[in-house]
Amino acid sequence: MKNPQVLVIMGSDSDLPVMEETSKILKQFGVTFEMRVSSAHRSPQRTAELAAGAAKREVKVIIAAAGMAAHLAGVIAAETTLPVIGVPIGGGPLNGVDALYAMVQMPGGIPVATMAIGKAGAKNAGILAVQMLALANPGLAEQLSAYKSQLSEEVAEKDAALQVKLTAGISS
């Protein structure tokens, strides 16, 4: 895509099943995005070029997903002034905790907004990117408000269904 609003970079194509959660959210809100594979360790120059060139392509937010040592988000944050959201990917002997620590323990001056490990984190990365974009887009802000209202309604519906089951169980 020529001018995506969000650039999603994964350390490996094996991260795609998790990062599909991000793409679902971005699509739901009509946010344009591009997904790329680039490694902080295996292709550092490519990664630096993607990060450094993102602002010139009018990207507004970068989401970086990686597992294991997970230096991708930090390397990207070092090469850009754009907000970077990190998504730790589970797996390896530490089940993603190493990736979480690598992202969240950045040195002062190189911030990475770090999400939860795995699919919930990938979904939240998409939502956080939308929230950032909504600061300058009232239509997107309205969509977010409706989304949050729907989440609340879904909880109320689940509670009502539970109450019906409990009442049926008690009266039987």
Q: What pLDDT, in 10s, does the model give residues 96-116?
A: 999 999 999 999 999 999 999
Question: How far does Cα 19 stand from its chain's mean position?
Answer: 8
Q: Tell me the pLDDT tens digit for each residue of 124-141.
A: 999 999 999 999 999 999
pLDDT for the residue numbered 169 = 80
Q: What's the pTM? A: 0.92
Report pLDDT for 70: 85
Is there a binding annotation on residue 23?
A: no
Helix (H), strand (E), coil (C) string for the chain: CCCCCEEEEECCHHHHHHHHHHHHHHHHCCCCEEEEECCCCCCHHHHHHHHHHHHHHCCCEEEEEEECCCCHHHHHHHCCCCCEEEEEECCCCCCCHHHHHHHHCCCCCCCCEECCCCHHHHHHHHHHHHHHHHCCCHHHHHHHHHHHHHHHHHHHHHHHHHHHHHHHHHHC
What was the pLDDT predicted at 6?
A: 98
Q: Are 130 and 117 in contact (CB under 8 A)?
A: no
- Regions in the chain scoring below 50 on pLDDT: none
Q: Is position 13 annotated in a ligand binding site?
A: no
Q: What pLDDT, on the 0 to 100 scale, is given for residue 69?
A: 77
**pLDDT for 46:** 96
Place of tokens 């120059």: 45
User: Which pLDDT does position 3 carry in this prediction?
Assistant: 86
Distance between CA atoms of residues 159 and 162, nearest Å: 5
Is 15 one of the annotated binding-site residues?
Answer: yes
